[in-house]
């Protein structure tokens, strides 16, 4: 198990932070073995001194910002560096701890500070950090040069998995030709995707906080535990404040239960007139000894419960119906790079259409997005990057142990978000293969041990009778594309097939079901009546047919519907993808197709009926 916390960096009376976003120097290592950077130790000096560099924005994917086709489709190591000036007090004050944090970089990262390696990280969607203060104590005049090498190569042991195919046919392919194969349907954008920052804490600091919430009648309960580092004699004071800053409960000690009278629960928006209520939990650590120091960390806390029955998903004991979307972190130019204007636009669009929930298909999204969900009352199914597990080898031990570790990192990062109501451990794996049974049993058990308070699912497109993971999930999430990948053009089969799908799964498992994907590719502006595939009318008809079955099942055991997809998004090039996947109800530029208006009408109607 992971041995330290990964709290979101926040400023406080005891903590400072400095974002290192902006332009970095950049070079892709295009040497034949992609290894020149390591052979020549590019991290030992400024990157610009080891060869030509270009400007690269951070955060952003590197793929779409230049006119260089070889960079767009590059596989291998890319190198970033920049220098930063540290406030002298961060270096000279023995009582300060200095941490370098990368929000995410895809996929494998190595980080050096002034030529010394400080951290490596395996995985493209979760944060990592390193304590770097000691590097400067010897010579406080040192500038701070940060070098990051990132490799986007996917193998059968990465998540998502991929395979490198070398083609050595010299009469048909140029020397050194290889392709990165993947079994997932989005572009393998890469680079430093989220903020890089430096932050400080005192030497004795709050390393992690975990809260679990409950309520009985009017009383809320916040069970908390705090882990502390850097001292053996600390006193803790934990104070829960309401929105107006009034203390509603407090406690001492590293764990305990805060009792909240007249509790204001965290509700999804549309379900309550005062949704998304957040308390603030201030953790104040005083380290003993002569020169006592204080660390203060404040965590937003939403008090709510989640339960699953054989037919319902309950939030605060009331049935919740997911009417929402599947998303991607994806946009023009930035690729998967974090971008506030895009995030705020997406939230405005989700609220415009009355979406009450989304799934983080197919990897963990930026923490800032989950914080927005907490504040706006949007419910999240938090999915790990377990997408495209199709090859029998990616069910092997090495893959499984990496997958377990990724779940540990994900739960560690996201456990305190009230908006996160369920974990998804995978999307459309080859769940009918024999090793899938042990794999998913182990993975789901581990996830439940990490977090016994949230249901766990994985998203399937397998046959109900042969799916080996379904017995272990709490909620069945089923994807289907009737009249698209099957019976293309035959809208008339949808209702019958969807009805059968629901009845089959429900009869076998007696578990609630979410239609976790359905949809149709649509080129905006293509029109046809009668509807044909790729026209706006066809997408609209697919939706209407699905919706009529949802309406028949929704008060029985179908507990949600998530459209595929919120917006068009980029994919690898292939004959079925015309500049990306076009199943968005919005274009990639976030303009509505006809289907967006159908969903808008429906979601607001559902909101009025069910919340």
Residues that bind ligand GCB (CB under 6 A): 185, 362, 427-428, 461, 479, 517, 564, 581, 583
Q: Which is nearer to ligand GCB, 202 or 385 (CB)?
A: 385
Residue 586, beta-bridge partner list: 567, 592
DSSP 44: G
Catalytic residue among 367, 383, 409, 428: 428
Residue nearest to ligand GCB (CB): 185
Place of tokens 């976030």: 590
Query: Residue 213 or residue 427: which is nearer to ligand GCB going by CB?
Result: 427
In the bound state with ligand GCB, the residue whose beta carbon lies nearer, of 77 and 481, is: 481
Q: What is the smallest separation between the CB atom of 564 and ligand GCB, expressed in angstroms?
A: 6
Q: What's the closest the beta carbon of residue 390 comes to ligand GCB, in angstroms?
A: 12
In the complex with ligand GCB, which residue's Cβ is closer, 42 or 322?
Answer: 322
- Using CB atoms within 10 Å of the CB of residue 265, give its burial: 0 to 12 exposed, 13 to 18 middle, 19+ buried: buried
How far apart, in whole angstroms, are the C-alpha atoms of residue 177 and residue 180?
Answer: 10
Helix H, strand E, coil C: the string for 462-484 is CCCCCCCCHHHCCCEEEECCECC
Nearer Cβ to ligand GCB, position 522 or 545? 522
Compute how many other C-beta atoms are within 10 angstroms of the C-beta atom of residue 447. Answer: 26
- Shortest approach of ligand GCB to residue 347 CB, angstroms? 22
Shortest spacing between CB 565 and ligand GCB, in angstroms: 7
As beta bridge partners, residue 79 has 27, 149
Q: Which is nearer to ligand GCB, 8 or 546 (CB)?
A: 546
Least Cβ distance, residue 156 to ligand GCB (angstroms): 19
CA dihedral 571, 575, 578, 579 (to 10 degrees): 40
Query: Count of alpha carbons within 13 Å of 376, Cβ hemisphere only?
Result: 23
CA–CA distances in Å: residue 144 to residues 54, 105, 198: 20, 20, 11
Which residues of 247-302 form beta strands (DSSP E)? 247-252, 255-260, 279-287, 293-301
Q: Considering beta carbons, is residue 96 or 182 the nearer one to ligand GCB? A: 182
Q: Which of 76, 166, 153 is nearest to 122 (CA)?
A: 153
Query: Among residues 535, 549, 575, which one has the least CA distance to residue 480?
Result: 549
Phi, psi for residue 28 in degrees, rounded to 5: -90, 135
CA distance 170 to 200: 55
**Are the C-beta atoms of residues 301 and 280 closer than 8 Å to each other?**
yes
The least distance separating ligand GCB from the CB of residue 485, rounded to whole angstroms, comes to 7
Q: Which residues contact 532 (CB under 8 A, 6 or more apart)?
A: 489, 538
Q: How far is the CB of 337 from ligand GCB (least distance, A)?
A: 20
- Asked whether 78 and 27 are in contact (CB, 8 A), the reply is yes
Tokens representing residue 547 in the block? 């919706």
Neighbours of 100 (CB within 10 A): 24
Q: Pick between residue 216 and residue 575 the one whose CB is nearest to ligand GCB.
A: 575
Angle at 90 between CA 88 and CA 96, to 5 degrees: 150
Distance CA 261, CA 350 (A): 33
428 is a catalytic site residue: yes
Token readout for 546 is 């699905």
Q: Which is nearer to ligand GCB, 185 or 409 (CB)?
A: 185
CA distance 108 to 154: 9
**Omega before 59 within 30 of 0, i.e. cis:** yes
Positions annotated as catalytic residues are 428
């Amino acid at each position: 198990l992971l041995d330290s916390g990964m709290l979101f960096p926040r400023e406080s009376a005891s903590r400072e932070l400095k974002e290192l976003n902006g332009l970095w120097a950049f070079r892709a290592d295009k040497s034949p073995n992609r290894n020149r950077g390591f052979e020549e130790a590019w991290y030992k000096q400024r990157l610009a001194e080891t060869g030509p560099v270009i400007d690269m924005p951070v955060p952003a994917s590197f793929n779409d910002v230049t006119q260089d086709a070889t960079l767009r489709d590059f596989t291998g190591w890319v190198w970033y560096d920049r220098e930063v000036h540290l406030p002298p007090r961060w270096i000279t004050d023995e009582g300060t701890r200095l941490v370098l944090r990368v929000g995410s970089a895809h996929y494998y990262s190595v980080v050096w500070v002034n030529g010394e390696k400080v951290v490596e990280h395996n995985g493209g969607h979760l944060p990592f950090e390193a304590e770097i203060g000691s590097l400067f104590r010897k010579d406080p005049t040192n500038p701070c040069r940060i070098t990051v090498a990132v490799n986007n190569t996917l193998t059968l042991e990465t998540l998502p998995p991929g395979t490198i195919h070398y083609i050595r046919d010299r009469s048909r392919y140029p020397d050194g030709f290889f392709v990165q194969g993947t079994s997932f349907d989005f572009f393998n954008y890469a680079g430093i995707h989220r903020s890089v920052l430096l932050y400080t804490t005192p030497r004795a600091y709050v390393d992690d906080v975990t809260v679990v919430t409950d309520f009985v009648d009017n009383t809320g309960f916040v069970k908390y535990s705090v882990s502390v580092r850097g001292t053996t004699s600390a006193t803790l004071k934990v104070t829960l404040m309401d929105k107006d800053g009034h203390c509603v409960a407090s406690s001492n000690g590293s764990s305990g239960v805060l009792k909240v009278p007249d509790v204001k629960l965290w509700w999804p928006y549309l379900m309550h007139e005062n949704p998304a209520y957040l308390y603030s939990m201030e953790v104040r650590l005083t380290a003993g000894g002569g020169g006592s120091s204080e660390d203060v960390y404040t965590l937003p806390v939403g008090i709510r419960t989640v339960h699953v029955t054989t037919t319902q998903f309950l939030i605060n004991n009331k049935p919740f119906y997911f009417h929402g979307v599947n998303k991607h972190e994806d946009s023009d130019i930035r690729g998967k790079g974090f971008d506030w204007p895009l995030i705020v636009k997406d939230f405005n669009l989700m609220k415009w259409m009355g979406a009450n929930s989304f799934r983080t298909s197919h990897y963990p999204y930026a923490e800032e997005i989950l914080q927005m969900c907490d504040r706006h009352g949007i419910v999240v199914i938090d999915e790990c990057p377990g997408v495209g597990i199709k090859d029998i080898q990616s069910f092997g031990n090495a893959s499984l142990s990496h997958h377990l570790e990724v779940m540990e990192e994900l739960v560690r990062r996201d456990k305190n978000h009230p908006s996160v109501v369920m974990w998804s451990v995978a999307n459309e794996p080859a769940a009918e293969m024999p090793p899938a049974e042990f794999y998913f049993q182990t993975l789901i058990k581990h996830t439940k041990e990490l977090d016994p308070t949230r249901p766990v699912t994985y998203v399937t497109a397998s046959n109900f009778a042969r799916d080996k993971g379904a017995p272990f999930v709490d909620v069945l999430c089923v994807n289907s594309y009737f009249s698209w990948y099957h019976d293309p053009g035959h809208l008339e089969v949808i209702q019958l097939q969807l009805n059968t799908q629901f009845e089959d799964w429900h009869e076998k498992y007696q578990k609630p079901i979410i239609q976790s994907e359905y949809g149709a590719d649509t080129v905006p502006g293509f029109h046809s009546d009668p509807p044909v595939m790729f026209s706006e009318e066809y997408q609209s008809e697919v939706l209407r047919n699905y919706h009529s079955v949802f309406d028949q099942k929704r008060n029985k055991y179908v507990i949600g519907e998530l459209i595929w997809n919120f917006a068009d998004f980029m994919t690898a090039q292939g004959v079925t993808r015309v500049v990306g996947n076009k199943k968005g109800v919005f274009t990639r530029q976030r303009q509505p197709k006809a289907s967006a208006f159908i969903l808008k009408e429906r979601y607001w109607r559902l909101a009025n009926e069910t919340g």
